[in-house]
Amino acid sequence: MLLPEGAHELKYLAMTDDAVGQGVLSALASNLYRSIETHLSKQAAAGANPARIWRIIACLRKLDAVLLQARRMRGHHDALISAADTARAQVPAEAWLRTLGDPKPPPSFAIRGDDVCSDFEALLLQTRAALDRLTFFVAPEYKQPKLDIWYKLPNVLADFAPRDARASAVLDLFGVDFWQRGIYRNLSDGTTSLRSYVAHRGTIAESISTYFAVSYLDPLRALVIDCESRGHPIFRTSWETAKYLPHLLLNTLAILTTGESLALDAFHPDWKLRSVVVTDFEGPGATARIMVVSRMAPDSVSMTIRGVQPSIAGHAISLPPRY
């Protein structure tokens, strides 16, 4: 920008979108986000350390990137539900006579979902980036400026927790079971995390064991089946990430700035998850049958009839009557 000679002051208007969280954050979580931003504005006006302020802002921007991908995943989820409604017209009348207890399962259809898998991979990668960026902010606060691996941060916090209430509170956030499941960190038995696999070794698509699908129970009810890759359901993992990452990141930033925090229940994303994970219903009592697609090659499709517990029917979505 060129200023006229002798100018010492420039006034301008900054405009921004009032919405936060990409439409995925809950109202309570969005308020916490805004509270942190308000605090940063006041700190900047008071002449606080600008480098620290920008480190916190960078954490929020990384969270935004994750929530953008979560919004895309929610869109894929909702699109499959819409397809369940419209595809009924293609089902032959005699097929509606089949039930979950029949040797031949009820009618169903599956999708390959390449675009869904790509967006899920982006969600995994962006989430790991957000965790590392949070580490780059928190670690220097506790005299470890060179720490660059997020799952080592709890070790640093544990050293300070006995005499620092804030460190103790942040340490508790990392103890949530979700962060120990092998999605964003390798397991102690040597199992590669899902994120690491996608970043360095392979793709979600090549490791699918159950594809996205819809299995009808009758003309007004259907099961929306989640895709599973390397033992992880894609829609559910996306939903959980949209819950647990804001819980960790926003609470950590708030604890170290405003002193606020919210319980985990306050971070339920604005996403009504309706899909089911077939493997959750396998095992004892699996007397019902459901057909799933286990492999889609360019010139062939492999389908498998799987035994599931009848209780899976309680998770069916209701479809509107068609006239």
Summarised one tens digit per residue, pLDDT across range 239-276 is 999 999 999 999 999 999 999 999 999 999 999 999 99
pLDDT, residue 299, reads 81
Q: Where are the domains of the chain?
A: 21-318
Q: What's the predicted TM-score (pTM) here?
A: 0.91
Reply yes or no on whether the pLDDT at 312 is more than 80.
yes
15 pLDDT above the threshold of 90 = no
Rounded Cα distance between 174 and 135, Å, is: 12
Residue 10 has pLDDT above 70, yes or no: no
